[in-house]
Structure 1
Amino acid sequence: MSVGAWEPAKSASNDQSRKEIDRTLLIRIIDALQETDAGNVPGLSAPDLLNTDSELTSASWLSGLPAAQWLEEAAQWDDEQVWALIRFFTLAEAQLQDWQGGAESPVIPLAKSLRLRKSPLAREQLLWIRQHSDNRYLPYGPI
């Protein structure tokens, strides 16, 4: 009789290849937010930041990516760009039906990436997130 380590069966979701983040889309989102200072424009909606509804539908999978992948992606962007992505995902989650992130929202790992850089969100940024979202997990995730 041999004794070995038990390994759980892999689920279908673990077998899926990792989806790559479309950086061109993220660049467009970041540029749109930075050009219009979207976080301060009353009535701004996430759909205004992208050109077509089909683009929104096809990109909603971004909100379901694992936190580790968002942490890796955030390393590619500077603090202001990460803040732009946080604002976009906050607005998208609040205003677009298919973009619900809940406790798995991209905002959580993006905010964590700023804390890891020793550039945590400022009080004004935290208040902005609270004003524009009803997701109780933002920006730090479940306790």
Structure 2
Amino acid sequence: MSVGAWEPDQTAAQDKTQKPIERELLRRYIAAARADKPLGESLETADMQASHLIRLPTQRWLEESEAWDSEQLWQLIRFFTLAEKQLPGWDAGAESAVIPLAKALRRRKTPLDKEQLLWIKQHSDNRYLPYGPL
């Protein structure tokens, strides 16, 4: 009899971070953010199962941000800010998609304004939002 160390299968987690981001799903997230209702009322159950998106690597979000205009990025920031607080399993801390999306806006020379920053702080208890760890 031998005793070995069990290693969790990283393949499933890696598959989720490697596959393309479904843009139609992001469109539904934008619509949910604009609806100004609790996300659970605005989304289908299947849409709430993609919590891995909030923790995708920064580079993936920076690349994806190129496909969206600044207003759509703001709505995605709103969605992910609300999702962290309202949806179970969506907490992301310093890995939140809000951080690279805010960075993408800064790169476009359209950084978050004071009103947007206040909105994020009022709707989140994630101390890393919107700019990440110092």
> What band does the TM-score fall into relative to the shorter chain?
0.7 to 0.9
Q: Output the TM-score relative to the length of structure 1.
A: 0.79
Report what 2:57 is aligned to.
66
Matched, 1:79 2:70: yes
Structure 2: gaps of 5 or more residues: 1-9
Q: Which of 47, 68, 87 is equivalent to 1:55?
A: 47
Report what 2:21 is aligned to.
21
- Write out per-residue CA displacement over residues 8-54 of structure 1, whole angstroms, 9 at most, x where no aligned residue: xxxx57x94512211110011213434x3x2xxxxx322223122x3
Tell me if structure 1 keeps the 8 A contact 2:73–2:101. yes
Q: Output the TM-score relative to the length of structure 2.
A: 0.84
SS of equivalent to 2:133: coil
Using the aligned pairs only, state the percent identity: 58
1:48 partner letter: E
The two structures, once aligned, show a CA RMSD in angstroms of 1.7
Structure 1: gaps of 5 or more residues: 1-11, 39-43
How far apart, in 2, do the equivalents of 1:31 and 1:140 lie? 24
Q: CA deviation at 1:129?
A: 0.1
Report what 1:30 is aligned to.
30
Q: CA deviation at 1:104?
A: 0.4
Tell me if structure 1 keeps the 8 A contact 2:102–2:111. yes
How far apart, in 2, do the equivalents of 1:140 and 1:66 lie? 15
Report what 2:133 is aligned to.
142
Which has more radius of gyration? Answer: 1
Q: CA deviation at 1:134?
A: 0.3
Tell me if structure 1 keeps the 8 A contact 2:81–2:98. yes
